[in-house]
Amino acid sequence: MSGSWLVTGAGGMLGRDVVARLAGRDAHGLDRSALDLTDAEAVAATVAGARPDVVVNCAAWTAVDDAETREDEALRINGEGASQLARACARAGSVLLHVSTDYVFAGDATAPYPESAPPGPRTAYGRTKLAGERAVRALLPRTGHVVRTAWLYGAGGANFVRTMIRLESAREHLDVVDDQRGQPTWTADLADRLVRLGEAALAGAAPAGYWHGTSAGHGTWYELAQETFRLLGADPARVRPTTSAAYVRPAPRPAYSVLGHERWREAGLEPMREWRAALAEALPALVAAERPEGARGRDICGSAAMGVPPFSSEAENLGERSADGGPRPNDRAPSGT
């Protein structure tokens, strides 16, 4: 059963891939300019008019550091916006797949967080996303699915992997943190799983609740940077490990945000593949997006430009990202993942 689909936050990195995955179906994508989740009347009218079978909410405020001083603004999108969308879905009888984040957890575990783990956000961003999760589950106990993800990268937006592709040809060495562990996740893989989950929900095969939409395996930002260099044909030794203490940010980053995937197996759905395999398949499209003019005159396996001072930007060394893959902090996010 394919049904009709509505994707919010369709202009963001994940939203674009969800729309692409739904090509050829009865599906409509709305970006920030087409639907502002803070406008309750617009949300209600849009969902009532479309009456979709499935809504995929990729829209979010994703500026993690900015949320520390602008929590009310972030809450209007991540909490109240999600609540308004859930109410509209309840009236329309729609299944809602709401994309959330690893930041709802404290990030200090030593084993993967199961879907049932109690949340304990340490950041304003995490608190606002948790508010959205709770609203979705309270308003849609039978049709509300919360899909937590993390460490997203893709061709359709700024992210850590694209930064590494760009800097590989511009810096002799990069210093990248090696004490934050998570699951690099390709947006195309997550988009595929979201669509499969929506199909299963429509067929009554996937009970509502919490899901973890991240790749299998885990690594640090340093390991992700090294693997990116290796796939580019560059020397991974040019990436050097450092610690988070060298790059203090307004919002603390989780030291361990590895998520478990048991619910997929319980529902008879396949979890995502190992992150290195996904990265290998994703990289050509990311290189094409980051180096549009013939990969800057060299192919993906070319040699690196040398003789440039070591890179030292805080944001890019930390893997600074839109936590859900959406707009960068300057974009002020209500667009989506």
State the catalytic residues.
125
Rounded to 5 degrees, φ, ψ at 292 are -65, -25
252: three-class secondary structure by DSSP: coil
**What is the spatial distance between Cα 90 and Cα 85, in angstroms, rounded to a whole number?**
9
Residue pair 56/97 in contact (Cβ under 8 Å)? The answer is yes
Q: How far is CA 156 from the centre of its chain?
A: 12
**Token pair in block for residue 318:** 């930390």
> What phi, psi does 293 have (nearest 5°)?
-95, 70
Do residues 326 and 49 lie in contact, with contact meaning Cβ atoms separated by under 8 Å?
no
- Tell me the C-alpha distance between 323 and 331, whole Å: 13
**Which H helix or E strand runs over 278?**
helix 275-290
219 phi/psi in degrees, rounded to 5 = -165, 175
